[in-house]
Amino acid sequence: MIDFEPTPEQQEDIKAAHAFARDLFRPVSRHYDEHEHDSPDELIDKMWEDRSKGTLALGLDVTAALRIEELCWGDAGLFMCVPGPGLGGAAVFASGTKEQVERFLGSFNEGGPKWGAMAMTESGCGSDTSAITTTAVRDGDHWVLNGEKIFVTWGKRAAENQDSLVVVWATVDKSAGRAGMKSFVVPAGTPGMRVEKLEKKMGIRASDTATLVFDDCRIPFENILGSPEVRKVDKSQTKGFKGAMATFDATRPIVGAMALGVGRAALDFVREALEKEGIKIRYGLRKQKLSALERDLMEMEANYKAARLLTLRALWMMSQLQPNNLESSMAKAKAGLAVTRITQKAVEIMGPLGYSRKHLLEKWMRDAKINDIFEGTGQINMLIVARRVLDFSRDQLK
Amino acid sequence: MISFSPSEEQQMIVTMVKQFANDEMRKIYRECDESGEIPDSVVETAWQLGLVASSMPEECGGFGGEHSAITGALIGEELAWGDLAMAMHILCPALVAYPLLEMGTDAQRKKYLPLLCGEKYKAATSALIEPHFDYDPHSLSTTARADGNDYVLNGDKCLVPLAAEADLLLIYAAADGRSQGFIVEKGAKGLEIGEREENMGIRGLATYGLNLKDCRVPRENRLGGEKAGDFDRILNCSQVGLSAMAIGVARAAFEYSRDYAKERVAFGEPIASRQAIAFMLAEMAIEIDATRLMTWEAAWKLDRKEDVTKEASLVKAYADDMVMMVTDRAVQILGGHGYIREHPVELWLRNGRGFATFDGMAMV
């Protein structure tokens, strides 16, 4: 039965997340934008405390998306400081054994704040994740990792906070291509892993984006996620790589939800500013009768809605155990681009109010752009959608 | 609970209509467009599916099912995928039946609904659009003036489907400063049906202009009687219905151009292997799905009897743009072949352009 009404519990969750974002994120939003590498420690403790109460216990489902939209309405950068298993945890869930899930995530909620990061991108490869050069060499009961990872989201927190973890993608056999690509769990504080640099970014400045260096970093043999074997013959058996891609099916619509929050913040800002001026949007009129401003705003609202429904559908399908690779990429491609345009248009409409750092709107435009880039750029997601709708392999459509 | 799955019954209806669209409509749509005629036999076969009667109450001759805008949207998409002109012809009686069902007085429903639930297809239609570029459904030039026991209607309408053969016409006119519907029976004095119109698209569908000159209808023929019908809701139902049909047209064009792009070889490989083509198709697929979800959401709200003016107008504007983008690209992907009438994409582009104009020509 087609239904668009969140359950009463979900409605409560939305309210709680919204209140959290409004009361705790918005007041400090500008501060952490302007003091890029300051750590919002007090807020993090509060977030960690709230996790156990539920407001910030975020999974990868429809409920999580509804909450995340609200939190990112508050501040997308601060949302990305929320402690939790995160992308690293998602990778462990997607490719780890039961024992590994228990070992790495079993007591994740106990003690102090923890993070789980995913280290994939390197300076020489972004979208082409199968071209990574970081190596993992077996040495008895250990793997030895060497290489450098960039753009690791919450990488510093995950690498340095006790009991946090970083999932690192490395090749065990370069000649095997994709089949040689495996993921490894590196616990925080492991000797040989260090934070080399923190990036300075256009937006989401509250979130740390780190370069991690692995210099003869030794981890136990059992920290490999999935099988250590390299199967070269059967192309369909490139499980490590597939594990990474399966993770994306879950995380891409979540990024969609983050994007939506930022887009809605901008939409709300414009709507409220216009209302103050006594301008009301007249829905239900023919296009010929609308002002250019009304047309713009209605187009922004429609695009926000389109992205939101695609996002919720992708996550709903996952909850129904339906394959959602196509729908995930549809949601991410649409949401990333939609909010990029919505926020840019909002700044245009608001003129000097939009451009001024007195208001948060210009920050949201800077924050929004990342959603069209990380977890697969808009173009990569279009490529995936295209391959899916054409039923083409990666060789047929490069 | 948020869910994107149609009910089992809705899925059965979709399967049935899909099959009809594929087996019957797709065989003759080009001929219909060229000749301007839709064979009665196809309309009759469609009528036997009970798409309108199934949601009419038993005492009015229907099957007693619950009327649902979501079901209507699902049906509209599938029929329009088959052919838009035929879809509008087949569903034309709904333009009168659905507003009557929701807003008619008991007497109006009793008198008129059985005519629209008969065993045979009977044309009934509605007239909303007026022949000016900036006509406004909320402030119509056609007027209805109360005079004794009658309303006196004056004005011009256009794009009225099947006006010449319709037994019943629901004509919208301004009265007391707002738009309202008036039930006019065939042959009413002062109602003059003009020549059949020639349009860019939906050429199989017979549409007409009509002139009202002191056309008298009894007071009790105002839709909804003393209370009058909710015109905004009628408009919203129409916008949702048209959005659903736009999705059907777009999906047809998308599927055809996708298949073509996989077959057509240029520079040694299928043109779909080039990102310039593949990315167009990806965007078409995304926008079709997005429009469908927005249409469902608006229909869902209609079924809950909530005010849906915002959602309906947002999705309609979005669907108008989407169907143009998709059908235009379909022609573009076929290149010169797309421009030739041997392929259907030029027909879908012509039909697609109409959605921004077709106010009131579909209903859920």
Residues A136, A53 share a domain: no
User: Does the pLDDT value for residue B145 go beyond 70?
Assistant: yes
**With contact defined as beta carbons under 8 Å apart, do A213 and A197 qualify?**
no
Give the angle A271-A274-A279 at the CA atoms, nearest 5°: 115
SS3 at position A357:
coil
Domains and CATH numbers, chain B: 8-116 (1.10.540.10), 124-227 (2.40.110.10), 231-356 (1.20.140.10)
Shortest Cα–Cα distance, A339 to chain B (Å): 15
pLDDT at A240: 60
Q: Is residue A2 part of a domain?
A: no
Q: How many CB atoms lie within 10 A of CB B59?
A: 11
Spatial CB neighbours of A19, under 8 Å, sequence gap ≥ 6: none
pLDDT tens, position by position, B169-222 = 999 999 999 999 999 999 999 999 999 999 999 999 999 999 999 999 999 999
Selecting among A70, A327, A362, A375, the annotated active-site residue is: A375
Spatial CB neighbours of B344, under 8 Å, sequence gap ≥ 6: B29, B30, B252, B256
Residues A101, A72 share a domain: no
Q: Is residue A327 part of a domain?
A: yes
Shortest Cα–Cα distance, B4 to chain A (Å): 5
Confirm or reject contact between A285 and chain B (CB < 8 A): yes
Shortest Cα–Cα distance, B42 to chain A (Å): 31
For residue B94, list its beta bridge partners: none
Residues A248, A385 share a domain: yes
Q: Is residue A47 part of a domain?
A: yes
Quick one: average pLDDT of B152-171?
98
Q: Is residue A360 part of a domain?
A: yes
Residues A227, A152 share a domain: yes
Closest CA to B237 of B301, B173, B167, B152: B301
Active site residue A122: no
User: Which segments of chain B are extended strands (E)?
Assistant: 124-127, 143-147, 150-161, 168-175, 178-185, 191-196, 207-218, 265-266, 269-270
Contact B290/A383, CB-based, under 8 Å?
Answer: no
- Which parts of chain A sit beneath pLDDT 50? 233, 236-237
Q: Is residue A339 part of a domain?
A: yes
Q: Distances in Å between the alpha carbon of B144 and those of B125, B133, B220? A: 18, 22, 13
**Residue A251 host element (H or E):** helix A239-276
| Facing A309 at nearest CB: one of B235, B261, B294 | B294
pLDDT tens, position by position, B78-120 = 999 999 999 999 999 999 999 999 999 999 999 999 999 999 9
Closest CA to B69 of B224, B232, B239, B231: B239
The rounded Cα B181 to chain-centroid distance in angstroms is 18
pLDDT at A232: 58
Shortest Cα–Cα distance, A213 to chain B (Å): 36
Last residue of a domain, one of A234, A261, A288: A234
- Tokens representing A256 are 């969609």
Domain containing A42: what range? 8-84
Spatial CB neighbours of B99, under 8 Å, sequence gap ≥ 6: B126, B170, B181, B223, B229, B234, B237, B363
In terms of DSSP bridges, do strands A116-119 and A135-139 run parallel, antiparallel, or are they unpaired? unpaired
> Rg of chain A over CA atoms, in angstroms?
21
Residues A341, A214 share a domain: no
Query: Which positions 184-243 of B are in contact with A (Cβ < 8 Å)?
Result: 232, 235-236
Q: Which chain A residue has its CA at the smallest distance from B69's CA?
A: A2
| Facing A306 at nearest CB: one of B7, B133, B318 | B318
Last residue of a domain, one of A47, A67, A84: A84
Q: Which chain B residue has its CA at the smallest distance from A9's CA?
A: B1
pLDDT at A251: 86
Half-sphere exposure of A394 (CA within 13 A, CB side): 7
Output phi, psi for B341, to 5 deg: -75, 0
Contact B2/A386, CB-based, under 8 Å?
Answer: no
Confirm or reject contact between B278 and chain A (CB < 8 A): yes
pLDDT at A237: 47
- In chain A, the N- to C-terminal Cα span, in Å, equals 39
pLDDT tens, position by position, B10-42 = 999 999 999 999 999 999 999 999 999 999 999
Confirm or reject contact between A313 and chain B (CB < 8 A): yes
Residues A91, A79 share a domain: no
Higher local confidence (pLDDT), B47 or A236 = B47
pLDDT at B243: 98
Residues A109, A192 share a domain: yes
Q: Is residue A395 part of a domain?
A: no
Confirm or reject contact between A390 and chain B (CB < 8 A): yes
Query: Which positions 239-268 of A are in contact with B (Cβ < 8 Å)?
Result: none
Residues A178, A49 share a domain: no
DSSP per-residue codes, A169-197: EEES-GGGGGGGEEEEEEETT-TTEEEEE
Spatial CB neighbours of B179, under 8 Å, sequence gap ≥ 6: B137, B138, B139, B140, B172, B173, B231
Q: CATH no. for residue A267?
A: 1.20.140.10
Q: CATH no. for residue A48?
A: 1.10.540.10
Euclidean distance between CA atoms A382 and A386, whole angstroms: 6
Residues A360, A278 share a domain: yes
pLDDT at A55: 66
Into how many domains does chain A fold?
Answer: 3
Q: Is residue A92 part of a domain?
A: yes
Quick one: average pLDDT of B54-80?
93
Last residue of a domain, one of A234, A256, A273: A234
Residues A301, A182 share a domain: no
Q: Is residue A204 part of a domain?
A: yes
Confirm or reject contact between B279 and chain A (CB < 8 A): yes
pLDDT at B355: 97
Confirm or reject contact between A18 and chain B (CB < 8 A): no
Spatial CB neighbours of A244, under 8 Å, sequence gap ≥ 6: A91, A95, A120, A129, A169, A181, A183
pLDDT at A238: 53
Residues A379, A248 share a domain: yes
| Facing B278 at nearest CB: one of A302, A310, A390 | A390
Query: Which positions 343-382 of A are in contact with B (Cβ < 8 Å)?
Result: 382
pLDDT tens, position by position, B269-314 = 999 999 999 999 999 999 999 999 999 999 999 999 999 999 999 9
pLDDT at A358: 96
Contact A302/B314, CB-based, under 8 Å?
Answer: yes
| Facing B70 at nearest CB: one of A2, A317, A327 | A2
Residues A251, A215 share a domain: no
